[in-house]
């Protein structure tokens, strides 16, 4: 009876292990879909030439899309990291301390929530934002510095107001995701390895080859 219960537990953990990797794959796919939407959003700029959208509104929409991609990057990064916490905890159910040398060392420590493989998407979103903001500033804002205050148009400041609001929301969202990760790590640290093996290196290992 005990062996049967052990086998059921092992089967469940292995199924859960595979599901965690499946979750990671789906989130990576969502990120690439978001990047595709970001690149497709350049069609918004084409509407400026046709006078369908005002330039300030079009740039504001591009800022929103960049912030949307950044939010997906943050979400995917912390989702990826939380799933790795669970994956490592499951690996520790089956692997021994000596397997750090015999198999792989990546279950020694939990991965920190750094962008790593998602940094390319983050750079893309940031690059598009700075290009749009820089182009708008030098074409719409800078020429108005010599004009009297009576000619001030709020619409020219709209992309920067949107960018400020987006920055506050992204900071709050990232803070929430970080707390969720830290709570998981605190509540479920996993099976402890031998102290001398855990402290052999001062640098946390990154899960993955």
pLDDT band (50, 70, 90) for residue 55: confident
First vs last C-alpha separation in the chain = 39
Give pLDDT tens digits for 83-110: 888 888 888 888 778 888 888 887 788 8
Measured between alpha carbons, how far is 96 from 99 in angstroms, rounded to an integer?
5
C-beta contacts of 33-39 below 8 A and 24+ residues apart: 34/68, 34/69, 34/72, 34/73, 34/121, 35/69, 35/121, 35/124, 35/125, 37/65, 37/68, 37/69, 38/65, 38/66, 38/69, 38/124, 38/125, 38/128
Handedness of CA 106, 28, 65, 75 (dihedral sign): negative
Q: What is the DSSP letter of 138?
A: I
pLDDT band (50, 70, 90) for residue 23: low
The pLDDT of residue 152: 64
Give pLDDT tens digits for 114-156: 767 678 888 888 988 999 899 989 988 887 766 676 666 788 8
CA distance to 80, 87, 96, 106, 178, per residue, from 13 (Å): 18, 9, 16, 18, 26
pLDDT band (50, 70, 90) for residue 60: very high
| Distant-in-sequence, close-in-space partners of 169: CB < 8 Å, separation ≥ 6 | 67, 71
């Amino acid at each position: 009876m005990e062996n049967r219960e052990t086998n059921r537990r092992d089967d469940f953990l292995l199924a859960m292990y595979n599901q965690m990797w499946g979750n990671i794959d789906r989130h990576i796919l969502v990120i690439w879909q978001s990047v595709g939407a970001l690149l497709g959003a350049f069609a918004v700029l084409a509407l400026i030439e046709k006078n369908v959208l005002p330039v300030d509104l079009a740039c504001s929409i591009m800022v929103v899309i960049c912030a949307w991609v950044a939010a997906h990057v943050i979400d995917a990064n912390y989702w990826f990291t939380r799933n790795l916490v669970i994956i490592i905890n499951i690996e520790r159910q089956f692997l021994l301390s000596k397997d750090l040398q015999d198999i792989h060392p990546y279950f020694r420590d939990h991965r920190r929530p750094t962008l790593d493989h998602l940094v390319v998407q983050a750079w893309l979103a940031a690059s598009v934002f700075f290009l749009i903001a820089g182009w708008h500033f030098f074409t719409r804002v800078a020429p108005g510095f010599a004009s009297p205050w009576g000619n001030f148009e709020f619409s020219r400041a709209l992309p920067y107001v949107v960018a400020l609001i987006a920055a506050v929301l992204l900071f709050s969202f990232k803070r929430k995701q970080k707390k969720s990760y830290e709570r998981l790590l605190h509540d479920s640290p996993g099976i402890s390895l031998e102290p001398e093996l855990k402290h052999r290196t001062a640098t946390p290992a990154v899960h993955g080859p």
